[in-house]
Structure formats: structure tokens, C-alpha cells
Structure 1
Amino acid sequence: MTDQATTQKAKAASLSIRQAIGFETPEGTNWSLVHGQQYAVLKDRVVARVLLHLVSFALVVFTVYQTVPVAALAAWGLGLISAVLYSARADIRLGDADSRSISVTEMESHALTTAAKGAMWSVGLILCAVYGQLGDTLLAWAIAAMLVLASSASRYGAPLSSITFALAAGVGGLIASLIDFHPILATVVVLSTLLAVFGVIESARVSVAVRLAEAAMQEKSEVVSMLLREFEEGQADWLWQVDTGRRLRSVSPRFAFALGREPAEIEGGSFLQLISGDCWQTGRFPQSLHDLADKLKRRQNFSNLEVKVTIGGQQRWWELSGTPIVDDRGRYQGFRGVGSDITEQRESSEKIAYLARYDTLTHLPNRRMLNEALGEALEHAAAWRSRCALLMIDLDRFKGINDSLGHLVGDRMLAEVASRLKALVRDGETCGRLGGDEFAVVLRETSDRSRIDTLAREIIQRLSEPYQIENHTLYVGASVGSAIGPRDGRTVEELLRNADLALYRAKDEGGGAHREFEPALHANAEERRLLENSLRHALARDEFVLHYQPVVDATTEEVVSFEALIRWNSPEHGFVSPAKFIPLAEDTRLIVPIGTWVMERACLEAAENWPEHVRVNVNVSPEQLLETDFVASVVRALSQSGLNAKRLEIEVTESIFLRDASIAREALERCMALGCSIALDDFGTGYSSLGYLRRLKFSTIKVDRSFVQGAAQQSPESLAIIRAVVAMADSLGMTTTAEGVENDEEAQMIRELGCTKIQGYHFGRPMPASDVLDVMARQTGSPRAESA
């Protein structure tokens, strides 16, 4: 009891004033449990409080009726009775506060009604001081002080309301004492009021602490009852007991059921023999049985010991706890304890552990297990001054198969890749799946450096062989990046990052190759990171500008269109080549907002400043075509600029058909329906150009500059390709544009080969928008050209 009282005192002392009087609820409790009860008990003494106030009023009236005017007493009595009845009504309305959630507003409202009673008593005290004698004031204050004491000491009152009543009545007593010029009485009034308020707060603290303690005891009691009930009804645990010879004694029905026997059948039987099954004859016991036998032999307490047992020929897992039995003289009598069957929990735990460390699709170690294996390899290398290695593998062209044939085929292929990888690794080498189409191999020991390159070449060769999946013959390639520890990294994170940098280099060079990590790759990666960070802000900072390269009629050499080409002048990096930032924009999908900006700016420039017969050519990335609102962005650019759709030519490359050809084709067909024309750029450098020409009617085929330069050097292959393209385009009703023409001889050759349009430095380099106006002015002979 002493400890409990001490605990309650500590809890009471730790409560703040706001928590004690009801403005806050102690953490971890609810309002109705702690504060609601403070207001719920008010209704129990409503009648007594009303009678007490009425009797007190009568006593004051009986004392001062000869000195205080009757009208003043009547008015005061009417106000006091109204305040008392209104407060009683408020008490009754809060009778259910312990079973519902009451608000702070309700609490404050009740405090105001109680304060009104105190204020009315203040009026009475002031009346006594004004009209009566000092003795009348003293008697009236004594009666008011009695009411304050009753409100402060009663457990049938709310703390905040008691405080407001005491303060309101105290103000009246103080004013009355000052009117009578009685400083001692004023001091007594102030001290009495403050002591009453302090008593209310301390009493509330104790009351709240008691309620918290009672709630905690009730919760503990409920928890204990629940646990006992579960133990009795759960049929999951049993008691066991053995004597000094480890023979079973006092076998309970539950324990017998766990052994699959009758209690009488196993009473006196060897405990270890009954749970060891066939191991008793072979002598090959699980280690957990050895541990149990050792505990029993040494007479040691044990708890939650997991033991592998054999019951009815089946392997099970038990969790046993036991303690030695000793008699009054301290002599050992055996063991008793409790046990339970945890087979299902153990299997679930093992399954969870497997799922946490192995990939469910390929059954290879996952990223977590690979990280652990790499960490162990680094520790081994550091301890033995040897080397380990990490090979990171990425499949080439896998996404195209996954997108075109579906995830089911893709998963089948990943499983086949895993099978081929497992066949290539040796002892001491761990292969696993990092995620997606990325795999890795950890080599614990790489004293033979040639093993790294040999394994990488074997992986590339084996994974590049054809796959037969659901009547499909499929091909993918593989790229490999490797890093050696601890040379290329002393931690798992460093080695993973550096192997990934090497893999990125292999992919960047076209794939199908193995690249080792080099320190220079860090500089390239850092440069790429900084460039990407600047690129993300370039559009908002208005760092892009469009240049335009003219496309002329092959016969008349008149400008028929301009190709819009984006340029980036970065404050941090200076002029950045499009060959560097365009691939980066495509990898990060920043090409989508950038491409939208190019479309809008080019259309606006052409509509406002160019002649009606001059078109604008805008390059569109495959990433843009896959956006659902691509056509809407084209419509928006045309409508905002006022450009006629026939003056916009969208240029695409054959790579748009490598990801989702149906989406790209649908988007381009809708653009053609608007009136736009479509040009196929870099023709002949892709994959299946003739198939694309059959699927979509292009308006223009652009012959790649490599063929033009080859033809200028009289390459028979290049000349034949250009003639074939021109003939094919003519038969399909398409125009042809030769790119990369740099001098008059090449231009004349292109005319003779039959190309419709020509583009190249010979007719103009990419130029700012202002220079385009000069070119157009010179062509038309306008005053702008003459002034220039």
C-alpha cells in the first residue's frame, strides 16, 4: 500500500495545472475516463447545493434585512436564485459526461454559470458593505466563505467551476472589505480565496492520479484475465514433468495429445526417447536435442528452447521451458516445465526468411543477400590480403520483349536467364538478381584476374543465345560491368556504385560488352550528375534558345522550310552540345517538357515572322510520342501561335517503333489528321525501315548524311542506297531530303540523284531567329536585305 500511495503521489505531482483542472488530457488516456467523471458526478448533489445556497441566502437576509433596503435584497435574491437554478440545470445536463466526449467549450460554459453564482454572492457582500455595518459584512463573508469551502472540498464538483466560483466570490469579498476600510478583512479574503483555489488544484491532481491508477489496474487485470483465458482455451501449451531418470511423470492430457499417445501409455517412458523418433536407434540426433539433454544433465534452467522432435514419423518443432524440481531439503527431484508446438510458426519464419533473401521469380539470391555476400567477400579480402570482384549484368533489349509480348513471357525469360547464370558460376561465386533485368555475380576470391574477363565473356555469350519461350524465338544481349575489391571500393556501397558505372559505360557504348571500372568513370558520372541538375532548371531559367537550319528546294534553291534545333547555353557549363544533353534529357524524361517548349516556340516564331509558304520542322522524341497528351500539346501549340497545321512538319526517327509502335503510330496519325506532315529522319540507319514505311504514310524521307558523304566519295553502296530511296519515295508519293550537303559539287550530285530537297551547311548553318529573317529578306529582295 505504501508503494501504491507513493506512486499515486508521484503521478499527482507530475500532472500540470491544465491537466488537473481539465484543459488537457494526460497522454495515453481519454477525456471521458479522466475528466468526464469530474463533471458526471455533479448531478448527484444538485438538490443539496441548491438548498445550501438558499439557506445561506436566508441567513444573510435574516441578518441584514433591517439595514439593507428590501428592494435591494429582493433584486439580489432574484438574481441569486436564477443563477443557482441555471447552474443546477447545467449540472444535470452533464450527467452523462463519463460516457461521451464532452468539449472544452462545454466545460468553459459550465464554469461561467458557476462563476455567475459567485458573482451574485459578490453582489450580496457589496450590498452589506454599502448599507450595513462591519459586522454584517463579516457575517456575510463568513457565509460566502463557507460556500467556497464546500465547493472546494466536495468531490461532487468540477475543478474549473470551483475555481471560478471562489474567484468570483472572493472579488466581492475584497470589494466589500475595501468599502468598509478594513485591510485585515481584505487580507483574509484574498488569502482565503487563494488557499481555496490551491486546494481545488491539489485535490484535482490527486483525483486525476487516482483515476489513472484505477484505469491502469483495470487494464492490467483485463490483460491477465485474457491471457489466462487464452491459455485455458487455446489448447496450444502443455505442462511436462520428468523425474531424475528423465522419465515422464504426471502426464497431462494435452502433453499426451502432443505426443500422439494416451497418458497411461507414456507415463514413466523416456522423455528423450519419445521425442527423438528413429534417431534413438541411429544415434544421429539433431543439435537441438543434444542441447536439451545437456540442459537436463546439468540441471540448468532454460527458457524458450527450440527443439526439433519426431512425432509419429513427422518432423516437428517444440518450444520448451523448464526448471529443476528440488524438495524441502534441496535434493534434486527432476524437471518440470511448459512446452508448445511451434512448427507452423517456425515454417512461417523460415518462409519469411527465404523470401527476405531470395528472389521469388528466379529463386536466386536477391539484392539483400548479394550485399551480404559482397560484404563477406570484402571482409575475407581484407583479412587475407586478397581480392574479390563484383560483376553487374544488365540485359540488352529486354524491355522491348517485355512490352511487346507481355510480362508473363518476360518473367519466363528472366527465369531462363537465371538458370543459365547458375550454370556458369563455380564454388565461391554467388549469382543473384538485383531487380528488374539486372543480375550480379560476387566472386569471393579473384587471385586469377583472367577469371573475371573469362566469366564476363561466357555470360555475354550464353545470355545472347536464342530463347525458346511459348513458340517464340527470342534474342537478348547482355552487358557486364565489373569492379574489384578492395581496389575499386572498400565498402559494399562503393563497389556496387563503381560496378554500376562500368556497366553504364558498357551500355553507353552499345552493349554486348564487358567494361572494368576506371577512376575516370567517376569524373564522367559527376559531370553527368551536375549536368543533369543544371538541365532540370534550364527551362525555368530560360536558358534554351532555338536555332533554325534552312531546307531548300533542290531545283530552285529556294527555302521551303527551316528545321528547329535547340541550343543550351548554361551559366555553369557554358555552351553544351545537343549530342550531350539531348540523350541525358531522354534518359531523365526531361525531353517531354523541353520538347513541348520547342514545339510552342517554333510554331510561334513561324506564325509571326515567316512567309506563309515556309514550313517549320520540329524533331519529336519517342518519349514525347508515348505521352497521352502529345497530340493535345501539338493542338495547343498550333492554336496559341495561330500557325496553319499544314506548315508544321514533325520529324521522327525509326526508334519510335521500338517501344510501343501502336501508340506512336496512333499519335502520328492523329497529327496527320490535323493537317501536319510527318518526316522520317535518319532513314537507313535504323532497323526495319521498309516495314515502317508500310505502316505509316510519311510525307518526307530524310536521307542520312552518312550516305550523302559516302556518295560524295563515289561509294557505290551509298549511291545505290540513295537511288533506291529516291525511287521508292517517288513511287510512294513522298519527297526526299538529303542531309549534310556541304558544297556545290555535293548539291549538284544530289540533284542528279533526284532528291527533292537539300539541307546542309552549303545552304546555311543553324542560325538564330533574327538571321532567319535576313535569309528570307534576301530571298525576296525586301528592304531589310538591302539595308543589311
Structure 2
Amino acid sequence: MDNQWALESAGSDGSCTQFLITRLPCQIGRSKENDLVIANLGLSRIHASLTRDITGQMRLIDENSTNGTFVNRHRVEGYCLLKEGDVIHFASAEFRLRLIQVEQPSVLPFDQMHTMVMPEDRLLSEHFASNEAEFDELIMGHGLSGAIQPIVNAKTRRVIGYELLGRANHPRLPKTPIELFNLAGSMNREVDLSLAFREYGISRFAKRLQGSKLFINAHPKEMFGEVFLVSLERLRHSMPDLEIVVEIHESAVTNIDQLRGFADRLAGLDIRFAYDDFGAGQARLLELADVPAHFVKFDMSLIHGLHKAGPRKQQVVRDLVQMVLSAGSIPLAEGVESEEEAKACIAMGVQLIQGYLTGEPIPEDAL
């Protein structure tokens, strides 16, 4: 089998078609004399061409097209060099450059192509995620970073543990975890990103935090999977004295029997767990009663401005805290930013707090 460059196109139904590039230079456009004919009225008759650069890379040349050629949603001025995974738009027709293995090169006949009519107020479609190559670099460790945020006793302010937080500083990717997970979601790779953050953070912080509890996160898609459990087994084997707390996001809890089995597996590894973002969606009161967690982290949406909230909201939070205590769990308030919020939490029975008031996230180089 031979490696072959191809342009991959996604249909509206989610199916993919590959246009193999059988020779270079390859001319692309709307008219039939092109090597690759795209029946899209937004394309020029001769729109763009592909050729091999002196460096050996693929070179994309815009042939003075009317509606433009774009790479990773940036318009090409003249030409640019391509790499595997780049997202290319010829006007509104979207493709991704792939290097694939084929037995016999073939091209899609013209009469099997679909006609796409581009409206005047066209937007670039987003069937493919841009920056996929950079995302792969991040997963492999280039640009990964991390931080830890203290968790303290609400009354004494003594540090009892830290939450491990993923960070990134790749020059061509978003910086915040939310943006990165949105990017990962567009490629269905949230688990890859979650694993990369966690393994990086553990390798950089865990040995330096012996004697403190380390709260670690997992994406809901991986939470109850065997791969995640095996990784916890490896972590426990390599660091038998590390106090580990696994945070379970409330959206991951859909099956109480599954949750109970997961809790039993964690107990066998001497690993505790916490319900994260409690109160952000469903309160999960049934799970709290049937499978009590060691810690319950109250979502910051319940905590922000709690001291100024009306009596009804304060009573709801107070009742939730008492339920958590009755279940034998330790209530922890997230996102505490002021002394007034902390005092309100303490008055309601909260035992631990986490937030900018008692400690901002500490990057690796400042630990």
C-alpha cells in the first residue's frame, strides 16, 4: 500500500468522501478541465492549484479566485505551505488534507459530485476542526502546563489539599481549558485532552504534594471506563501514600448501579471521591443518599453572592449542606472570593472552601 495525499470532504449527513490527489500539480476549480472538479458555483473556473514545494511540502496556490481560498479559516494571499490535517476552503467548499494509505489511486467521477450553491452572505463551514495538528502536539506534551489550587479548612484556613488543574500555553491554540475542551469536542477527543492534562499534572505535582489530598478530574466520557480505572491503579501502585480524591461531575452520573460499582473499585484502591459542581444541574440527591461521596463540592453558582442572596436561596443552600452532612459527606464550597461569602458558608455548615479568597491557582513554576 502507498501513502497518498487526499482531500477529505464531509457531507451534511456526516459521511466523508476522499478525493485522491493522483498527480501534482493538481488544478482545482469549477470547470471540467481541472484535475479536481468541484461543482460549486462559488468557485472560480480555475480556483486554486496544488504543487510540491522545493522543501517537499505541499504548496497551495490561490489562482486569483473571486471568493478566496482559506487554510484553517485564514485567507491565502498568493500561496501557503500545507501540512497533514489542515482545513482548506475553496470558497465555501470545505476539505481536510489527509495522508492516507491506498492500494490503487482513484478519483471521484465528476457525475458523482454534488452541486453546492454558495449564498452571498456565505460563512465558512466547520465540518472539520482547524488546528488538529497543533492539538496532536499538545496531547503529546508540547505546550501542556498545569496548576494546583488550595482547598482549606473553612474556619482555620489550614490547607488540606489541592485540586489539579489543566493548563496550556501552545502558541497556536486557545489558552483556557473551556476553549480547549470545546476544540477537543469538535474532534470527539475530550478524553485525550483530559488524560493528557491529568497525566502531566500528576507527573509534575503529585510527588511534591505527599501528605496533602490531591483532587483530580476526569471528563464525563471517560469517568467509568476501564481505561480510567487502570490508570488509577497505576497511579496507586506508583504512589502508594498519595491521598487521591477523584472528582465526579454530576453530568456523568446516569446509572446508580454503575456509580456504586465505581465507588467499590475506588475503595479497593484506597481512593476517595467527590461529587463535583453539586447544584449546577440536578442536585443528585438520590445518588448522595445511596452512594455517599467523601466530599461534595458545591458549585460556585450557589456560592457567589450567597451573603447577599434572598432568604429563600439561603435556605435552599442551608438545606443542601445539611443533607450532605447527614449523608456523612464533607461539604466544600467552590469559587469563594470574599470573606462575606466564606462567613455565609461557615454559618450554613460548610467545612472546606476553595477559591481566590484562600488561594489562586498556583502554576508549576511558582510552586
What is the aligned partner in structure 1 of residue 149 from structure 2? 549
Cα distance per residue 1:120-167 (max 9 Å; x no partner) = xxxxxxxxxxxxxxxxxxxxxxxxxxxxxxxxxxxxxxxxxxxxxxxx
Listed as ranges, the matches of 1:389-788 within 5 Å are: 492=114, 494=116, 519-520=122-123, 522=125, 525=126, 529-573=129-173, 575-586=174-185, 588-612=187-211, 614-640=212-238, 642-644=239-241, 647-658=243-254, 662-687=257-282, 689-772=284-367
Q: Tell me how far apart the structure 2 counterparts of residues 692 and 530 of structure 1 sit (CA, whole Å).
A: 39
Aligned AA (2:250): E
Higher helix share: 1
Rg bigger for which structure? 1
Deviation at 1:677, TM superposition (A): 1.0
TM-score between both structures, scaled by the size of structure 2 = 0.63
- Does the 8 Å CA contact 1:604/1:643 hold for their aligned counterparts? no
Q: Tell me how far apart the structure 2 counterparts of residues 619 and 679 of structure 1 sit (CA, whole Å).
A: 10
Q: Tell me how far apart the structure 2 counterparts of residues 590 and 493 of structure 1 sit (CA, whole Å).
A: 32
Cα distance per residue 1:449-486 (max 9 Å; x no partner) = xxxxxxxxxxxxxxxxxxxxxxxxxxxxxxxxxxxxxx
Q: Tell me how far apart the structure 2 counterparts of residues 521 and 724 of structure 1 sit (CA, whole Å).
A: 50
Q: For residues 654 and 607 of structure 1, do their structure 2 counterparts lie closer, same or farther at Cα, with a shift above 3 Å needed?
A: closer
Cα distance per residue 1:322-351 (max 9 Å; x no partner) = xxxxxxxxxxxxxxxxxxxxxxxxxxxxxx
- Does the 8 Å CA contact 1:699/1:735 hold for their aligned counterparts? yes
Deviation at 1:729, TM superposition (A): 1.1
Q: Tell me how far apart the structure 2 counterparts of residues 562 and 624 of structure 1 sit (CA, whole Å).
A: 22
Structure 1 residue runs of 4+, over 6 Å off?
none
Deviation at 1:493, TM superposition (A): 6.2
Aligned AA (2:160): V
Q: Tell me how far apart the structure 2 counterparts of residues 633 and 713 of structure 1 sit (CA, whole Å).
A: 43
Aligned AA (2:136): R
Listed as ranges, the matches of 1:117-196 within 5 Å are: none
- Does the 8 Å CA contact 1:599/1:634 hold for their aligned counterparts? no
- Does the 8 Å CA contact 1:561/1:616 hold for their aligned counterparts? yes
Q: Indicate the SS of the match to 1:629.
A: helix
Deviation at 1:548, TM superposition (A): 0.8
Deviation at 1:634, TM superposition (A): 0.5
Higher strand share: 2
- Does the 8 Å CA contact 1:649/1:678 hold for their aligned counterparts? yes
- Does the 8 Å CA contact 1:651/1:681 hold for their aligned counterparts? yes
Q: Tell me how far apart the structure 2 counterparts of residues 766 and 566 of structure 1 sit (CA, whole Å).
A: 10
Q: Tell me how far apart the structure 1 counterparts of residues 176 and 123 of structure 2 sit (CA, whole Å).
A: 21
Cα distance per residue 1:369-398 (max 9 Å; x no partner) = xxxxxxxxxxxxx9xxxxxxxxxxxxxxxx
Deviation at 1:721, TM superposition (A): 2.4
Q: Tell me how far apart the structure 2 counterparts of residues 576 and 697 of structure 1 sit (CA, whole Å).
A: 35
- Does the 8 Å CA contact 2:195/2:218 hold for their aligned counterparts? no
Aligned AA (1:565): L
- Does the 8 Å CA contact 1:699/1:734 hold for their aligned counterparts? yes
Q: Tell me how far apart the structure 2 counterparts of residues 716 and 493 of structure 1 sit (CA, whole Å).
A: 61
Aligned AA (1:726): V
Q: Tell me how far apart the structure 1 counterparts of residues 233 and 284 of structure 2 sit (CA, whole Å).
A: 28
Q: Tell me how far apart the structure 2 counterparts of residues 590 and 766 of structure 1 sit (CA, whole Å).
A: 25
Deviation at 1:749, TM superposition (A): 1.9
Q: Tell me how far apart the structure 2 counterparts of residues 704 and 737 of structure 1 sit (CA, whole Å).
A: 9
Cα distance per residue 1:719-777 (max 9 Å; x no partner) = 122201210111111001111111222222222221011111111211213433xxxxx
TM-score between both structures, scaled by the size of structure 1 = 0.31
Q: For residues 693 and 367 of structure 1, do their structure 2 counterparts lie closer, same or farther at Cα, with a shift above 3 Å needed?
A: closer
Q: Tell me how far apart the structure 2 counterparts of residues 667 and 682 of structure 1 sit (CA, whole Å).
A: 19
Q: Tell me how far apart the structure 2 counterparts of residues 637 and 591 of structure 1 sit (CA, whole Å).
A: 21
What is the aligned partner in structure 1 of residue 88 from structure 2? none
Q: For residues 643 and 605 of structure 1, do their structure 2 counterparts lie closer, same or farther at Cα, with a shift above 3 Å needed?
A: farther
Deviation at 1:676, TM superposition (A): 1.0
Q: For residues 771 and 492 of structure 1, do their structure 2 counterparts lie closer, same or farther at Cα, with a shift above 3 Å needed?
A: same
Deviation at 1:596, TM superposition (A): 3.1
Q: Tell me how far apart the structure 1 counterparts of residues 237 and 116 of structure 2 sit (CA, whole Å).
A: 52
Listed as ranges, the matches of 1:209-220 within 5 Å are: none
Cα distance per residue 1:230-253 (max 9 Å; x no partner) = xxxxxxxxxxxxxxxxxxxxxxxx
Cα distance per residue 1:622-644 (max 9 Å; x no partner) = 2112432221111112223x242
Q: Tell me how far apart the structure 2 counterparts of residues 616 and 696 of structure 1 sit (CA, whole Å).
A: 21
- Does the 8 Å CA contact 1:599/1:637 hold for their aligned counterparts? no
Q: Tell me how far apart the structure 2 counterparts of residues 521 and 710 of structure 1 sit (CA, whole Å).
A: 41
- Does the 8 Å CA contact 2:332/2:352 hold for their aligned counterparts? yes
Aligned AA (1:577): T
Deviation at 1:617, TM superposition (A): 0.7
Deviation at 1:697, TM superposition (A): 1.9
Q: Tell me how far apart the structure 2 counterparts of residues 741 and 771 of structure 1 sit (CA, whole Å).
A: 22
Q: Tell me how far apart the structure 2 counterparts of residues 576 and 585 of structure 1 sit (CA, whole Å).
A: 13
- Does the 8 Å CA contact 2:334/2:353 hold for their aligned counterparts? yes
Cα distance per residue 1:587-623 (max 9 Å; x no partner) = 54433343334443444445421241x1111111121
Q: Tell me how far apart the structure 2 counterparts of residues 737 and 494 of structure 1 sit (CA, whole Å).
A: 54
Q: Tell me how far apart the structure 1 counterparts of residues 124 and 357 of structure 2 sit (CA, whole Å).
A: 39
Question: Which consecutive residues of structure 2, in runs of 5 or more, have no partner in the other structure?
Answer: 1-12, 16-40, 42-91, 94-112
Q: Tell me how far apart the structure 2 counterparts of residues 665 and 532 of structure 1 sit (CA, whole Å).
A: 37
Q: Indicate the SS of the match to 1:546.
A: strand
What is the aligned partner in structure 1 of residue 59 from structure 2? none
Deviation at 1:681, TM superposition (A): 0.9
Identity value in percent: 25
- Does the 8 Å CA contact 2:145/2:364 hold for their aligned counterparts? no
Q: For residues 679 and 728 of structure 1, do their structure 2 counterparts lie closer, same or farther at Cα, with a shift above 3 Å needed?
A: same
Deviation at 1:557, TM superposition (A): 0.2
Q: Tell me how far apart the structure 1 counterparts of residues 227 and 260 of structure 2 sit (CA, whole Å).
A: 14
Deviation at 1:669, TM superposition (A): 2.8
Q: Tell me how far apart the structure 1 counterparts of residues 325 and 345 of structure 2 sit (CA, whole Å).
A: 15
Aligned AA (1:539): I
Q: For residues 705 and 688 of structure 1, do their structure 2 counterparts lie closer, same or farther at Cα, with a shift above 3 Å needed?
A: closer
Deviation at 1:701, TM superposition (A): 0.9
Q: Tell me how far apart the structure 1 counterparts of residues 353 and 229 of structure 2 sit (CA, whole Å).
A: 29
RMSD value, Cα:
3.2
Q: For residues 727 and 539 of structure 1, do their structure 2 counterparts lie closer, same or farther at Cα, with a shift above 3 Å needed?
A: same
Aligned AA (2:301): S
- Does the 8 Å CA contact 1:600/1:638 hold for their aligned counterparts? no
Q: Indicate the SS of the match to 1:585.
A: helix
